[in-house]
Amino acid sequence: MNIKRVYADLGSKLEENKALIIYGPRQVGKTTLVQDYLKTCPYKYRLDSGDNIVIHEILGSQNFDKLKKYAEGYELIVIDEAQRIPQIGQGLKILVDTIPGIRIIATGSSSFELAGQVGEPLTGRKTSLTLFPISQLELNELYNKQELRAKLDEYLIFGGYPEVITSQTRDKKIALLEELVHSYLLKDILELEQVKSSKLLLDLLRLLALQIGSEVSMHELARQLGIDAKTVARYIDLFEKAFVLYNLRGFSRNLRNEITKKSKYYFYDTGLRNAVIANFNDLNLRNDVGALWENFLFIERLKKRNYSHIPANQYFWRTWDQKEIDLIEEREGNLFAYEFKFTSDKAKVPKDWKEAYPDSEFQLINRDNYLEFIV
C-alpha cells in the first residue's frame, strides 16, 4: 500500500539559503518522506544523521571553517534526527548565512528540543512543517468516502501510524503499537530531559488516556500519583512538546461561569492512546467510544487545518453548571461551534452559548457528516 503524504512534493518547499524544518512524532514517516524526495532530488546533496557523533562535532561546533568544509560542493544538506545535535540551530544559521545558494532539510521528533534550538537562531531563515500520523485527508487520496467510512472502526481503535495502517493483521497492529509505547514514546523525554522514572510517566499518561474529553485537574493527578502538581504540569508539558498530547484550553469572553483555567488533553493518535491503556477491544465492547470519537475528530480536524492552511484558534466551551460544546474554532472573525456525537443525530445549542454568542455558527458532527468536517 502506497499512501501519498501531504508533503510529498518537498522540493516546492525548499528555498535557497533557508532551512526546511520537519517536525512530528516519532515513527510518522519523516525519514521516509525525505528519502522518497531524495530519490528524484535535482540537487547534489549530503545526508547525515543526528545519531552520528562526528556530525555532532561539526554542526555543533559553530566553527565557520569546519562548517564551510562540511558543506563544500553541495547544494542541499539533509540532517535526520537533528534534535540530537547540540546547538544545531546555530550551526544551521551559519550554513544558510555563509554558503550562497545552500538549501537545508532538518527533521526532528522532539519539538521541545529542536524548536528551542532553531527558533531564535533561524528567525526569518526557515520554513516549518509538522507531519502527523496519516490523516483521513491523505487516505482520501487512496480510498473513496464509502471505503473510509467502512474502515472507521479500525481507525478509531488502531489510529494512523503508517506502519500500523499498512499492516495486514490485527495482531501485527497491536504489536507495533505496543512497541511504539514501550520503545519510542518516551525516548526523547527520557534522553533529553533526564527524567528518571519511565514508570511514573506511563502512569501519568494512562490517567490522562482515561480522561480524554474531560477537564483535567493537575492536583487530582498529583494526588493519584503521589507527586506534586508542579511535577505533573512539567511532565504534561513534555508530553505536549514530544507530540504525544495536545492541550485544548477553555473559551470565554462574556460569562462569569465559563470555565477557562482547566484544559482537556487529546492524544495525537487514538491507536497510541489505546495502547497506553492496553485496550484494543472492538467498539461494541467498549465504554469509551464517545471519548475515542471526540479525540479522533479533534485530531483529524487539527491535521486538516494544518495541511490545508486554515488558520484558527481552538477551544472547548463549558460552564460550571455543565453546559458544554466540544470544539470552538475562532477563524475569519467568526466563531464556529461543533458538537461531536458518535450515535446521535440531534444536538441542541446550549442556551447560554446562544445568548452570549448569537452570531456564532453551530454544527453537529456525527458518523453521517464527519468526513466533510475532516476531509
Q: Where in the chain is the domain with CATH 3.40.50.300?
A: 10-130
In the chain, % of residues over pLDDT 90? 79
Radius of gyration for the alpha carbons in the chain, expressed in angstroms and rounded: 22
Give the three-class secondary structure for 319.
strand
CA distance 267 to 261: 20
pLDDT score at 86: 85
Cα 348 to Cα 27, 225, 255, 351, 363: the distances in Å are 40, 38, 19, 9, 9
Per-residue cell: 65: 571553517
Mean pLDDT of the chain: 92
Determine phi and psi for 128, rounding to 5 degrees.
Answer: -110, 135
pLDDT score at 192: 63
Per-residue cell: 133: 500520523
pLDDT score at 354: 94
> Is CATH 3.40.50.300 the right assignment for the domain spanning 10-130?
yes
In the chain, % of residues over pLDDT 70? 95
* Residue pair 59/96 in contact by the 8 Å Cβ criterion: no
Give the three-class secondary structure for 248.
strand
Helix segments in 217-287, DSSP class H = 218-225, 229-241, 270-276
**Whole-structure pTM value:** 0.94
Q: Which residue has the cell 512534493?
A: 9
CA distance 137 to 142: 10
For the chain, count helices (H), then strands (E). Answer: 18, 11
Residue 361 reports pLDDT greater than 60 = yes
Per-residue cell: 314: 481552538
Per-residue cell: 39: 530519490
Give the three-class secondary structure for 181.
helix
* Residue pair 74/44 in contact by the 8 Å Cβ criterion: yes
CA distance 14 to 7: 12
pLDDT average, residue stretch 82-86: 86
Residue 100 reports pLDDT greater than 80 = yes
Cα 172 to Cα 39, 145, 163, 177: the distances in Å are 29, 26, 10, 9
* Residue pair 151/296 in contact by the 8 Å Cβ criterion: no
User: Looking at the domain that runs over 136-307, which CATH code has it been given?
Assistant: 1.10.10.10
Residue 112 reports pLDDT greater than 60 = no
Q: Where in the chain is the domain with CATH 1.10.10.10?
A: 136-307
Q: Which residue has the cell 467510512?
A: 149
CA distance 28 to 53: 24
- Which residue has better confidence, 321 or 167? 167
The tens digit of pLDDT for each residue in 260-286 reads: 678 999 999 999 999 999 999 999 999
Query: How many other CB atoms are found less than 10 A from the CB of residue 171?
Result: 10
Query: How many other CB atoms are found less than 10 A from the CB of residue 110?
Result: 26
